[in-house]
Structure 1
Amino acid sequence: MPRKPKYYVRPDGLHEAIRTISGKRVAFRGKTDADVERKMIEHRERLTKGRPFREVADEWKGIHFPTLAPNTLKGYKPALERAVKEFGETSVREIRAPDVKRFINEFARGGRALKTVSNQLLVLSLALGYAVSEGEIDYNPCVSISPPKGLQKGHRDAGSPDDEERVKKSAGVWLFPYLILYTGLRKGEALALTYDDIDRDNKEIRVTKSVYHIGDKPYIKKPKTEAGVRTVPIFDPLWRELPVGKGSKYIFSDDGGTTPISNRRYQTLWGRYVRETGITCTAHQLRHSFATMLFELDVDPKIAQELLGHSTEAMTREIYTHLRQQKLDAATKNINKRLAKKEHGSTQKRHKKA
């Protein structure tokens, strides 16, 4: 008489045992009872030792990455790859705070900016935080670690005065760079503009959405932050150049306004614009040119924050501080140059008298 199976036999013939481990139901399946028991033993041993970081990171990635915005994903993906390269086969139970500190400090020594190093630490912390939530480790070793002091804060400078002049003279070549220079909109916000967003009665532009691309295809999303939903004035130079149109058609489009411009078409137009005008800056640098204009006109940081769509006034003040330091550095350089000339002239006079 055949021996009765110890575990439940599913309709597909597989033997199955379900156990609750650390509050989670885990299913063990195999062709025989022996296979099921072997898998349960292996699972217990693995929990005792701890899963390798690579496995935990891959599981967290599968859950978390699909929820991320495309631009966030661009920063998270390489950061996770670096973390896996460093800790891949190491058990999550064996990763300690000193290991994290060493990894972050070595990464920072490559001359990387504070934002890049902070992002690397954040991604590693999120992956290990997932291990905590799954009951695989008791604490997150990243919690007590901070980026090294003295790292440079990344600042993207504005376009050069020559670039700005070229943009001002070439509105007829392509409106897009001209619009960013006079509104400070982000690239995606400008590409998402429709004729309905232009309030001609009040000479304002309503910013309510943004374009992002996956591959070549454009998609619409909300602005980067809640503060990104805003109204910006249309200054006179831009007012004279804005095309007249009606309805929800996109201003920058491949198909007459039905959909936003594709990534390939955008790159083609930007490349052509660069060749025709000779500019060397990026679209984002033109946004910084707008911020510089606000600074030079002594626009209150709170007003500038609203116009630029920054989530906090501190972000705007940081830009203002950077611009102020640039002006101070330039003034110091000019003063030293002038003093050096005077000193040289005085020295020559003394030699002649002698």
Structure 2
Amino acid sequence: MPRKKSMYQRPDGLFEKKITLNGKRIAFRGRTEIEVFRKIANYQEAKANGPTFTEVAKAWYAVQEQRFEDGKLSFNTLKGYHPAMREAIDYFDGQYAKDLQPQQCNHYAKYLAGRYEGEKTVANKLSVLHCILDFACVEYNLTYNPADKVKVPDGLHRGFRDLPPAEHIKIVQTKRPEPGTDAFTGWLFCYVALNTGARRGEIIPMRMGWNIDLANQIIHIRGASYFNGNTPMEKSTKSLKGVRDVVMLNDFKATMEQLGLKHGDLLFSWQSSMITSKRLEMCLKRYYAWAGIDSTPHQYRHGFITVCFEAGIEPKVIQEMAGHAQLSTTLDIYTHLRRHMLDEAAKKLNKIDFSTGKIESDEDKVPLSEKQQDGTA
């Protein structure tokens, strides 16, 4: 006697069984009854265990993509999320989100510290992990975030962009390539960064009149830009603090007047639009080759902040002109400046033989008293 089938067999030959789970009617199909029962068991196990970390991470990233489409997230932020998300997926792949423990997240932090030297890099990647698991708490009823107590491991390099050497600042301020050349465009970009403290993305969309207010001698920073591949795109400033006014120095005003630009003209344009990424990089490289220097626009931004500190301007005022969201960011640059000044002082002091009062040079040793007499000390 043939065995009685335990489930319905469709006209196409597939077996089908419908069951109700959590009030929802679900159909499972397979070529054999065993295959159908296996699918049911796998489904029930998955529902009991909840989503995997990979599923949560991809769902979280889809939400971030929607936030970008809605104008609530910057392109650069979304772009930075993706590699951090992929690295977390590679590490936790195959694990259920509900099974993750603080110890595993701490091991991940140590894993990152072994791969990357920079404290900020590791901190950013751990921040993405934290955001993914926060999302799991809200959307998938994870009872707690296992990354809450995980900290960036000690001993990582806390890097700062080097300050531009004094001779580089002097060259930017005093030597200019022939107007109309690519090198001139590269110089002007560095010059604007040095005299305004603006970020690269804030300089690109600058226009005469709207941003460069010659009549009131003020620089209005109201927006920013980013590159989607090679194409420049406008966006809001990095933070609310990014919307700001910066005093216009006399030399800067004279330089702007000499450009001969009309109201509304872009300072940096290419084919009647904002300058492209490749075009800007080419102009900067040609300027570096012309001038024999290599300090970047962001270093000149820090150079502006450094000059403000050296001029005795209050840190809170410098923070506002620099557009830093946190005063601590401004003070970090000051701390780095102090360390740089101490290093320079150490180099000079190391050349002095305190037992004889002489300063060592590459050519000879000059007594300190002689240096004071001829006014060179």
> TM-score range with shorter-chain normalisation?
0.7 to 0.9
Match in the other structure for 1:47: 47
Shift of 1:111: 5.4
Match in the other structure for 1:84: 89
For the 8 Å contact 1:47–1:136, the answer to whether it is kept is: no
Shift of 1:162: 2.5
For the 8 Å contact 2:134–2:145, the answer to whether it is kept is: yes
Shift of 1:189: 0.7
Match in the other structure for 2:193: 180
Shift of 1:94: 2.4
SS at match of 1:212: strand
Match in the other structure for 2:368: none
Matched, 1:250 2:266: yes
Q: Which amino acid aligns with 2:264?
A: S
Q: Pick from 202, 208, 220 the counterpart of residue 189 of structure 1.
A: 202
Distance 2:282 2:328 in 1: 36
Distance 2:339 2:310 in 1: 13
Deviations 1:119-138 (A, max 9, x none): 11111111122222223532
Match in the other structure for 1:283: 297
For the 8 Å contact 1:28–1:39, the answer to whether it is kept is: no
Match in the other structure for 1:170: 176
Distance 1:27 1:223 in 2: 50
Q: Assess, with a 3 A threshold, how the Cα gap between structure 1 residues 304 and 18 changes in structure 2: closer, same or farther.
A: farther
Match in the other structure for 2:75: 70
Deviations 1:279-299 (A, max 9, x none): 211111111111111121121
Match in the other structure for 2:369: none
Aligned pairs for 1:158-237 (under 5 A) are 158-168=163-173, 169-170=175-176, 172=179, 173-174=184-185, 175-195=188-208, 196-237=210-251
For the 8 Å contact 1:80–1:124, the answer to whether it is kept is: yes
The number of aligned residues is 330
Q: Pick from 290, 293, 308 the counterpart of residue 322 of structure 2.
A: 308
SS at match of 1:241: helix
Distance 1:108 1:265 in 2: 36
Shift of 1:180: 0.9
Shift of 1:65: 3.7
Which blocks of at least 5 consecutive residues in structure 1 are unaligned? 7-13, 346-354
Q: Pick from 152, 156, 169 the counterpart of residue 157 of structure 2.
A: 152
Deviations 1:138-190 (A, max 9, x none): 21100111112343322112212232222221264222111111111101111
Distance 1:265 1:30 in 2: 57
Distance 1:139 1:122 in 2: 16
Q: Pick from 341, 359, 364 the counterpart of residue 327 of structure 1.
A: 341
Match in the other structure for 1:238: 252
Q: Assess, with a 3 A threshold, how the Cα gap between structure 1 residues 344 and 249 changes in structure 2: closer, same or farther.
A: closer
SS at match of 1:77: helix
For the 8 Å contact 1:211–1:260, the answer to whether it is kept is: no
SS at match of 1:206: strand
Identity of aligned residues (%): 31
SS at match of 1:205: strand
SS at match of 2:227: strand
Match in the other structure for 1:317: 331
Normalised to the residue count of structure 2, the TM-score between the two structures is 0.78
Match in the other structure for 1:11: none
Q: Which amino acid aligns with 2:350?
A: N
Distance 1:340 1:66 in 2: 66
